[in-house]
Every structure is written in structure tokens, then in C-alpha cells.
């Protein structure tokens, strides 16, 4: 368990780019006027990786901002579950979560997004978005947004969806001579694009693009990719 406090007025950027423990848990408390940005990348190469990522964040001071951006490519027989809990305990807080996963082979993914707005946490603005693409028939993704909103003067929204690669786009690209695996890579890069741009650093973005491309081609040779 990793515990942090983001102190009053502080800006903190947490990048979780390798989840190596069986369980990876963070418990973070934000004081007033603090800004926390978390980037979570699940791009493990180990085909049997099994991880439980928990991000538990509480806004204990007013005017705090929390941003969670995550992406993952799950492959082989991986089991990856990501659990975010964002607690708005005081008024005037902001949070935004954007998490995207592509699941291939026989991998199993799960996202549980808890968003808790306490009764007196008025003027909270909270958003949560989870989008997933399944790349093989045996891949699964469970998504469970869980909003508990006890204050009435708030702006909260959430969206969750799980779909497949757009077959008509794939065919369109093939008709232009592009091989299906290259077409899928372009489509997935597009899918992850809005998460990547939140990094704000082209060099890091590029490095991740390469890791994404690697993760897409690994580990099983007989997968859909």
C-alpha cells in the first residue's frame, strides 16, 4: 500500500507505468487547492500477469482537482482489474477520469469506478469515462461505474462502453492496400489518442506509442493481431 498526501496548493503527477506487484494500491488524500494527475499504463508483457490496481483518492480540502488517465492492453491470459475510488468529501472539488482498455487473446479486464460525493460536497464537478475494445472473441472486459452522489447541487457524468474494432473502417483501410494488422494498429492508436495527449509531452507520448505497438503484437503469435 502506497500512501500519500498532496498538500495544500501542491501539484502532483503520479505515473504508474509498470504494475509489478500482485496488488498495487495507492491511497492518496488531497488537501485544499491541490492538483493530482495520475497516469496509469497497463502494458505488461508477462502473459500470465494478474494485477489488482486500486487507486483510492479523497479530496479532503476544497477546490482540489483530480485527474486520472489510464490505458491498457491486456493480452495472453492476463487478468487485470483497475479500481478507482474518488471521494469528494468537501464542496467545490473537480475530478475527471478517462480510462481505455483494449483486450485481446483470452485476457480478462475489469474496471470498477467508484465516485462518491458526500452530502455537503456541493458544486462538485465529476466525470468518469471508460471505453473498451475487445480484440478477440475470448477476451472479456467488465465495466462497472458506481456513482454514489449524496449532494444535489453537483455536475456529475459518466459513460462506459465496450465494443469491437469498427469492421467497416477496417475494410475501408484494407481496400486502400493497408494490411489488417497495420490497420488495427492505426485504429487502436486513434482509440488511445485522447489519453496519450493528456501526457502533454510528445517524447513520452511517442515512447508509449511504441510500447502500445509492442503490446499489440505480443505475446501470442496466433492472436487476432
Where on the chain is the footprint of another protein (CB under 8 A)?
Answer: 166, 168-169, 171-180, 182-183, 186-187, 189-191, 193
Which residue in the block uniquely carries the three cell numbers 493528456?
198
Least distance CB 200 / another protein (angstroms): 18
Q: 128-159 b/e with 16+ CB inside 10 Å = b?
A: bbbbbbbbbeebbbebebeeebebeebebeee
Residues in the chain: 225
Least distance CB 192 / another protein (angstroms): 9
Question: Judged by CB, which is closer to another protein: 15, or 190?
Answer: 190
Question: Judged by CB, which is closer to another protein: 15, or 179?
Answer: 179
Least distance CB 198 / another protein (angstroms): 14
Least distance CB 104 / another protein (angstroms): 19
**CB atoms near residue 11 (< 10 Å):** 11
Least distance CB 78 / another protein (angstroms): 25
Question: Judged by CB, which is closer to another protein: 120, or 193?
Answer: 193
Question: Judged by CB, which is closer to another protein: 145, or 180?
Answer: 180
Are the CB atoms for 43 and 218 separated by under 8 Å? no
Question: Judged by CB, which is closer to another protein: 16, or 170?
Answer: 170
| Beta strand pairing call for 94-103 and 65-74 | parallel
Question: Judged by CB, which is closer to another protein: 21, or 181?
Answer: 181
Least distance CB 21 / another protein (angstroms): 33
Residue 137 has, within 13 A of its CA and on its CB side, a CA count of 0
Amino acid at each position: 500500500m502506497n500512501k500519500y498526501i498532496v498538500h495544500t496548493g501542491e501539484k502532483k503527477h503520479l505515473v504508474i507505468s509498470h504494475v509489478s506487484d500482485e496488488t498495487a494500491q495507492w491511497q492518496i488524500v488531497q488537501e485544499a487547492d491541490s492538483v493530482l494527475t495520475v497516469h496509469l499504463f497497463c502494458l505488461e508483457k508477462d502473459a500470465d500477469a494478474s494485477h489488482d490496481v486500486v487507486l483510492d483518492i479523497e479530496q479532503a480540502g476544497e477546490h482540489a482537482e483530480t485527474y486520472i488517465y489510464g490505458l491498457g492492453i491486456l493480452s495472453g491470459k492476463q487478468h487485470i482489474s483497475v479500481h478507482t475510488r474518488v471521494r469528494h468529501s468537501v464542496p467545490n472539488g473537480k475530478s475527471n477520469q478517462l480510462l481505455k482498455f483494449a483486450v485481446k487473446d483470452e485476457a480478462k479486464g475489469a474496471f470498477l469506478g467508484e465516485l462518491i460525493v458526500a452530502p455537503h460536497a456541493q458544486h462538485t464537478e465529476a466525470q468518469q469515462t471508460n471505453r473498451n475494445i475487445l480484440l478477440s472473441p475470448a477476451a472479456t472486459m467488465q465495466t462497472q461505474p458506481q456513482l454514489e452522489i449524496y449532494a444535489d447541487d453537483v455536475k456529475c457524468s459518466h459513460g462506459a462502453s465496450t465494443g469491437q474494432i469498427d469492421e467497416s473502417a477496417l475494410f475501408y483501410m484494407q481496400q486502400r492496400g493497408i494490411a489488417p494488422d497495420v490497420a488495427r494498429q492505426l485504429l487502436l492508436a486513434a482509440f488511445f489518442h485522447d489519453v496519450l495527449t493528456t501526457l502533454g509531452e510528445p517524447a513520452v507520448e511517442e515512447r508509449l506509442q511504441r510500447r502500445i505497438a509492442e503490446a499489440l503484437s505480443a505475446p501470442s503469435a496466433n492472436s487476432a493481431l
